[in-house]
Structure 1
Amino acid sequence: MSETGLQAVTRRIDEATGGARMRRLRQADWSRRLVRETQLTANDLIWPIFVRDGDGEPEPVASMPGVSRLSVAGCVDAAREAADLGIPVVAIFPYTDPALRDERGSQAVNPDNLVCRATRAIKKAAPNVGVMCDAALDPYTSHGHDGVMDGERILNDESVEILAKQSVVQAEAGADIIGPSDMMDGRVACIREALDAHGLRDTMIMAYSAKYASAFYGPFRDAVGSNALLRGDKRTYQMDFANSDEALREAAQDLAEGADMIMVKPGLPYLDVLARLVRELQIPTFAYQTSGEYSMMMAATQNGWLDGPKATMEVLTAYKRAGASGILTYFAPQVASGLKTPL
């Protein structure tokens, strides 16, 4: 009896695959979950929040739908929400009154600035939530740059001196992690030395080691109020987006200077860089899903072009698949609320 056309196809498939039917494991939700290689949990999330002066209702950031500038009290509420959702860390970024900005970013070293006040309040109300603070001058300078300027030139060493002082006041306010995001040479070494000299040896450093001069930062700069102030661009200190080898050198240097963790920013356009750093350095490596990435996804979602929650989970899982120890994302509370944190 001759085989039918379907029998012939089945036989040919079995010969070609050696009987290994890959779809078997995909046929049910439970089986897909059982063999899933990459797991995203609330433990993987860092929630960036924006703090502003004054009381009252949150101030929406127009270019970041769903994100607002919060009062100090609002930041405390966010930290309590993070604790309830199992989010380990919140990262604080300030919107500084333009009247308080100057050429040297003097507010950065004020022990009673917005970031320090918010940090103290959060650590008092939610002591089990980690607080990460940025070491950078752009939220405080009148020109919107991450360092001190001499004409059109960014002064590296003078900027680092201020960044080290800024890191100390943040750590003294209770910051658990300092995140140098300025991309000045040698800043990690000077920050580590300053922290240690003030008895702050337990304060961690997560260096923005591979921070690229990117088009994806615009909405963030709106949120902290530096977009309209920025003179020129940041290409003399942030990395060229075409480079990967340079990222490896930057990260290795930061680790040698005392960084505990490193970061790649932006995230999604640089998954190759993230994966390479994880593979070659084998150190906790984080990625920042930038404001531009967030806003693009929100715009597409609001227009009905994307299923937002599904797209978010897909993208954040891609970060984890590339090797990220964790992800800074504005989607953190929405994602965490839909996840179960494992014991």
Structure 2
Amino acid sequence: MSGPNTNYDPVEVAALDPAAIEGAVDAALAAAASADTLPALKAVRTAHQGDRSTLALANREIGALPPSAKAEAGRRVGQAKARVAQVLAARQAELEAERDARILVEETMDLTVDVPRRVPGRRHPNALVSERIEDIFVALGWEIAEGPEVEAEWLNFDALNLGPDHPARQMQDTFYVDPPGSGLVLRTQTSPVQVRTMLDREPPIYVLCPGKVFRTDELDATHSPVFHQFEGLVVDEGITMAHLKGSLDAFVRALFGEGTVTRLRPSYFPFTEPSAEIDCRCWVCEGRDASCRVCSGTGWIELGGSGMVNRRVLRASGIDPDRYTGFAFGLGVERSLMLRNGVPDMRDIVEGDVRFNRQFGMEI
């Protein structure tokens, strides 16, 4: 700002020249008229009403005028600023109205149009089958027991009568946990949970041990390196193979339907003696259709392994084998799902395609 001008001559103060002020107003009005968007109008407002605009500079020069000239110059500049502000406000209202009208057209919602229903979630059929099996045994008065998936080698093998040279302990079947010699494996079965249960409590013991297990198998139509199984264990006084057979019959009737029965075929497992494979009568053809795809015409479907708990296993778990006896069995959850629901390929179960889960809904 310049100092007091005692010899005031309006012509010499260029910013206050009426022609200059009128020119600034005309430029502002033209710029406002040409602004076709709100951001463009904001730029016009900054250029013509901001601190560096022509009218703002003229307004600052008024303070340097003598008192006799301030009134006229102030009125001239004030009227100019008011005209610019009025035009800018009117243009602001016009552009906002245009924007609102455009939004109403572009973002119109037809409330009469049907919207797609949100598809409800689906639980994995493995979880559904596992819970169904657990409910069956809980209804029989059994308990559910669980254990860690990274297991001590002693619990996974030695306590189950699987000696150091047993083939199941080799790398082709078992995932060992680094570093070598750690004594830890990814459990190959849920049998270690049975051993833990026998070590932790006194008989009578009636438990079902469900869980995830790991083996070095390739993923194909019938195998997976990670799968689920459930194992049953009973230890009490006077337990015989007849109790095993009765428990299995009750289980298959509840899972596969009334009239389903089981049979036991002699077999060998290190942790049971005697041992037996579990078969159940085909619930589709009941042995009357030689072309049945479920049982391949045999009338029987293999479910898993079973037997009386080996005396060595009882002794390793701190239980007197002369007083107590027990039985154990193991079946695969995926296999039960495939048999019960006609799933032809193990990969359908594990690959995570939601379309596979959707067909099972929330319960089976």
TM-score bracket, normalised by the shorter chain, equals under 0.3
Which has the bigger relative contact order, CA under 8 A and spacing at least 6?
1
TM-score (norm. length: structure 1): 0.22
Q: Which has the larger Rg?
A: 2
